[in-house]
Structure 1
Amino acid sequence: MVLKYLAVFFVSMVPIVELRGAVPIGTGFMGLPWLPTLIVCVIGNMVPVPFIYFFARKILVWGSDKRFIGKFFKWCLEKGEKGGKKLQEKAGRGLFLALLLFVGIPIPGTGAWTGTLAASLLNMGFKRSVVAVILGVLLAGIIMTLGTLGVFSAITSIFS
């Protein structure tokens, strides 16, 4: 049982997959109870956040002029800054809520990794970023848990 929780914990740390993939794996495929699985997934998804916030930008800047990785790192920086500016323009003073919803809506590419990198590139404060990201991760976790448990299917069958 502990090995299953460890697997779910580590899967939730992987970029792109994150909690969005770990919750269905834990509750659906492995048959783990939903609440402990959700808690383990949230914790696992949040572990990389401080490292991304404090180091991702520095690593991308460092690598942007290197021979083999420079083009890719520069592309990541430009894409992140462009996307961050676009998000900030649209959100205005609602950047916290925009980041929360960006992380919380469980579609590929909008998780804690991307949200934290965007917050870092926008120079959003660390505490505000972490709070927005953790609330977004909780929202995504709840949505994924309900979806995995079939709640959405049950609701649509009631109203069909």
Structure 2
Amino acid sequence: MTSLLNYMSKEMVVLLVAAMPVMELRGAIPLGISMGVDPIKALIIGMIGSMIPVPFLLVLLEPVFEKLRENDYMKKIVDKIVNRTIKKTSTIHKYKAIGLLLFVAVPIPTTGVWTGAMAASLLKIRFVPALINILIGNTIAALIIAYLSNVVANI
């Protein structure tokens, strides 16, 4: 059985992994570098891929959650996700847009653009400041990840 990955370029794999929740650029950049993609190219593609879902999340998350809450089973799931996100994002809650930037900039699991966009939506941070601060935070995280990945790759 042939894998779909056999038909995609390394760059496309990096882009798609970067757009996925959980993995984001924290997984995509090291993956790209390990596959032989130039570190700068992996950084840029990873940033682009990870930012693709952000505008959609900022605009659509709240109405989708509201619609899902109409179903008792889905309400429990949505409430669990919301409560978990709010717990993790006390910095964002306290400092709003700058807190969002700092939250996304820290390159550890669960502090990426997906959680940041979800927190921005839940905390009602306006679209443009949220998008700009997520982009800046994501850029900082990408630079850190690319640097560390390149260092490890050259050991």
Band the TM-score falls in, shorter-chain normalisation: 0.7 to 0.9
- 2:53 maps to which residue? 48
Q: After superposition, what is the alpha-carbon deviation per residue over 1:35-75, rounded to whole angstroms, capped at 9, x for unaligned?
A: 11111110100000011001112111211231432211122
Say whether the 8 Å CA contact 1:12–1:41 is kept in structure 2: yes
- 2:97 maps to which residue? 96
Corresponding position: 1:71 with 2:76: yes
State the distance in 2 between where 1:129 and 1:45 align: 15
Structure 2 unmatched ranges of 5 or more:
1-7
Query: How does the TM-score come out when normalised to structure 1?
Result: 0.83
Structure 1 unmatched ranges of 5 or more:
155-160
Structure 1 residue 81, shift from structure 2 partner: 4.6
- 1:57 maps to which residue? 62
- 1:39 maps to which residue? 44
State the distance in 1 between where 2:63 and 2:35 align: 38
Say whether the 8 Å CA contact 2:105–2:140 is kept in structure 1: yes
State the distance in 1 between where 2:37 and 2:28 align: 11
Aligned partner of 2:22: which letter?
Answer: I
- 2:91 maps to which residue? 87
- 2:28 maps to which residue? 22
- Deviation above 3 Å: which 4+ runs of structure 1? 78-84, 86-90
Query: How does the TM-score come out when normalised to structure 2?
Result: 0.86
SS for the counterpart of 1:25 is helix
State the distance in 1 between where 2:49 and 2:93 align: 31
Task: Indicate how the Cα distance of structure 1 residues 50 and 148 shifts in structure 2: closer, same or farther if over 3 A, else same.
Answer: same
SS for the counterpart of 1:107 is coil
SS for the counterpart of 1:15 is coil
Q: Percent identity?
A: 33
